[in-house]
Amino acid sequence: MTILTPIIAAHQITRRFGNGALETTVLKGINVEVAAGEFLAIMGKSGAGKSTLMYQLSVLDTPSDGSLTIAGVDVQQLDETEKTAFRLNTLGYIFQNYALVPDLSARENCMLPLLMRGLSHQEASDTAATALTSVGLGHRIDSLPALLSGGEQQRVSIARAVALEPKILFADEPTANLDSVSGQAVIELLTTLHKNGQTIVMVTHEREYALGCDRILHMEDGQITRTEQLTK
Amino acid sequence: MVLSPWRESTRAKHYNCKNNMRSFRVGLLLGWRQLQRASLWTTGLIVFVMMITFLNLVAVSGILVGLIVGSERAFEQQSIGSVTITPLDTEDYIQNSDVIANILQQTPGVVDFSVRYTSAGSITADYRSRQSPNDEPDQISARLTGIDPTREDAVTRLSESVVEGDYFLPDDTNALLIGILNLERYSENFPDFTNSLTAAFPGDTVLLTIGSVSQEFVVRGIVDSKVGDVSSAIFIPERELRRLIGRASDQADRIAVRLDQAVPPERVQSQLDQAGLADSAKIRTFDEALPKFLIDIKNTFNVLGTFIGSIGIIVASITIFIIIFINALSRRQQIGILKGIGIDRRAIEIAYVFQAAVYALAGSLLGVLIIYGFLIGYFERKPIDFPFSDGILVAEPLTTLTRFCVLFVITLIAGFIPAWMIAKQNTLNAILGRN
């Protein structure tokens, strides 16, 4: 599938680990394009390379070969500091293990990247409160992560990501540590965000959660074996 | 592809002051919250280590220097005074010492002064009981110091140093005080003093000989002081000494001047100089008259104290390094995630440096409270009893501030290095816990 104005354009992405005889190629010349506003799921068995692909697309890792353009920027030209700034200003992340700072309240966790972007303390606090309210945690904004359930923590993680209004939201198995009810709630949140125009790339191994996406990339042995276009 | 403008704008943004301020704000928030949520016991222990380090840094050298300062203080208060007047290098005596005494009486800030005359002589204790002229006499050669008992006591409080017998009576003439360094029964503390009297007790009569003149004196008391000049002297009323050596009253050997504590010695020295006394005598403040060896010892002790304190600093910096390293290492994944979501590395480093700074500040503040609120006063009341001085704790504010700054900066570095080591690691490796 060719997209006229892809927000992500990855060509011949290869990722190798190790050297010499121990070298392993985890991604083998992947070509992916993601349209603005698309909800893309990446699925595959364990070891298929789906998470590794997401790390390349989300600028958390650097491909061994290939080219990657995100929102018009050739990200391989950026140094580490620039990549950090690029992630802050362009991308949002939801991690499998929620990835919240345990010493900070839900509000402060959401405030961190906002403060880093230059918002005043009050602006960041208000924006964080709004984001938390939008994920149904308006009553827990000053709670520490340890006092929240897994589902609530993941919703804080989503609030932190969406508070930044990122161009692309990456979710790495966001339901993996959740029970089915909480998992479904997280997926519903992501679906709502997508309906509001948010571009989302999600890695999951649960097909039922991927069914709400626009497209599913099926991976096996470091290659995309099948693209499944979902009709709604 | 629009790479260059974005890169340029990002670079410009990243390195500008605003971005530093953002990192600083985020770093402070992270650091402060980590401190707030940390175990009280752990924080208390770290602050305690920093406090001990600060005390080690300031108090050890302070006590070493205090031994010498205590000695100097005793030398000033019990011997030469805050301002001391001695003969010119070209003269044997202070010229016109009566005139100088008159001027001193009218000089503001002078509490009192003692005019002294000195001479060499000998004391024989057993001259009455010795059976045979061939027996070795119980005799010493000694430095005789003639004093006005009332004025001397007003300047040096000599009466407080009498450990046996009494101080001079107001009308004493043929009486003397013997410093303990002249007595065998005290010589166990000073084994090198071989020339000492065996039998000289308060009330005994001894024979004082100067040149060919001899006269009997009654031992009025025994004087003990940590100032060697006092403990080795034989004090007799100045009129008797002058009579024995044939010295006029205006030919003194030293005038020790005691000043009001609020009056700087330099001011009195200047006033005496302006009165024209510099032509008759050498007028020096206590600091100027201080023997060079005391200054050298003080400097050496200061260096020694700094060296010992430096070891403490090394131990503290290693402690802080380990604490921050373990803290940062245990949060490696969290640090990776923070970088992953776009938090600048510097913000993470600032968070840990901030924690180290708080530890150093809290420890030093406690140290300052203990030193200035307790230890200095304690050692003033109960000085350390050394043979040559009453040791006090000297902690001059400027020196303390300098040592605090050294400790603070080293602690910041010790906090920064592990944070930098962990924060510079590959972001994804940190997130995934890979090496």
pLDDT band for A1, please (50, 70, 90 cuts).
low
CB B113 within 8 A of CB B81: yes
Mean pLDDT by 10 residues, chain B (435 residues): 54 62 91 90 89 87 85 89 92 89 91 94 82 76 92 94 92 91 78 72 91 91 91 93 91 93 91 87 90 81 80 80 83 85 90 92 95 93 84 89 90 88 85 76
Please give, rounded to a whole number of angstroms, the shortest distance from the CA of A91 to a CA of chain B: 8
B380: enclosing H helix or E strand? helix B376-381
Write the residue in B1, B29, B428 that is nearest to A60 by C-beta: B428
Contact assignment for B343 to A88 by CB distance below 8 Å: yes
Contact assignment for A116 to B18 by CB distance below 8 Å: no
| pLDDT of res. B299 | 83
A113 token code pair: 């990247």
List of chain B residues whose C-beta atoms are within 8 Å of the C-beta of residue A63? none
Please give, rounded to a whole number of angstroms, the shortest distance from the CA of B339 to a CA of chain A: 6
- Classify burial at B275, counting beta carbons within 10 Å of its beta carbon; exposed 0-12, middle 13-18, buried 19 or more: middle
| DSSP-assigned letters across all residues of B245-256 | HT--TT--SEEE
Contact assignment for B341 to A117 by CB distance below 8 Å: no
| pLDDT of res. B3 | 47
Contact assignment for A77 to B6 by CB distance below 8 Å: no
Note which residues in 328-347 of chain B have CB less than 8 A from chain A.
334, 337-345, 347
Residue of A nearest to B331 (CA): A101
CB of B14 less than 8 A from some CB of A: yes
Distance CA A165, CA B67 (A): 68
Write the residue in A55, A82, A89 that is nearest to B428 by C-beta: A55
B430: enclosing H helix or E strand? helix B427-432
Each residue's pLDDT tens digit, A7-58: 999 999 999 988 888 889 999 999 999 999 999 999 998 889 999 999 999 9
CB of A104 less than 8 A from some CB of B: yes
Contact assignment for B343 to A121 by CB distance below 8 Å: no
Write the residue in B11, B22, B30 that is nearest to A82 by C-beta: B11
Pick from A81, A156, A165 the residue to mutate for testing the B interface (most B CBs within 10 Å).
A81
Note which residues in 168-207 of chain A have CB less than 8 A from chain B.
none
Q: Which of B221, B239, B216, B241 is nearest to B231 (CA)?
A: B221
Higher pLDDT: A142 or A98? It is A142
CB of A160 less than 8 A from some CB of B: yes
Residue of A nearest to B1 (CA): A72
CB B79 within 8 A of CB B395: no
The answer to pTM > 0.90 is no
Candidates 2.60.40.1120, 3.40.50.300, 3.60.15.10, 3.40.50.1100; CATH matching A6-229: 3.40.50.300
Distance CA B230, CA B193 (A): 15
Q: Which of B423, B412, B429 is nearest to B321 (CA)?
A: B412
Write the residue in B11, B18, B34 that is nearest to A118 by C-beta: B18
Each residue's pLDDT tens digit, A197-211: 899 999 998 888 888
Distance CA B118, CA A170 (A): 97
List of chain B residues whose C-beta atoms are within 8 Å of the C-beta of residue A91? 342
Residue of B nearest to A94 (CA): B341
Q: What is the ipTM of this complex?
A: 0.84
| pLDDT of res. B2 | 45
B34 token code pair: 């980590």
Q: Which of B404, B310, B311, B309 is nearest to B361 (CA)?
A: B404
| pLDDT of res. B322 | 86
Each residue's pLDDT tens digit, A145-189: 999 998 899 889 989 988 888 999 999 988 887 788 888 888 888
Residue of B nearest to A90 (CA): B342
List of chain A residues whose C-beta atoms are within 8 Å of the C-beta of residue B36? 103
| pLDDT of res. A232 | 61
Please give, rounded to a whole number of angstroms, the shortest distance from the CA of A232 to a CA of chain B: 32
List of chain B residues whose C-beta atoms are within 8 Å of the C-beta of residue A107? none
Higher pLDDT: B138 or A130? It is A130
Q: What is the rounded average pLDDT for all residues in chain A?
A: 90
Distance CA B123, CA B210 (A): 9
CB of A143 less than 8 A from some CB of B: no
CA angle B92, B97, B101 (to 5 degrees): 150
Crossing angle of helices B332-340/B397-423, nearest 10°? 70
- Classify burial at B293, counting beta carbons within 10 Å of its beta carbon; exposed 0-12, middle 13-18, buried 19 or more: exposed
Please give, rounded to a whole number of angstroms, the shortest distance from the CA of A116 to a CA of chain B: 5
Sheet holding A39-44, edge to edge: A91-94, A168-172, A199-203, A39-44, A215-220, A223-229
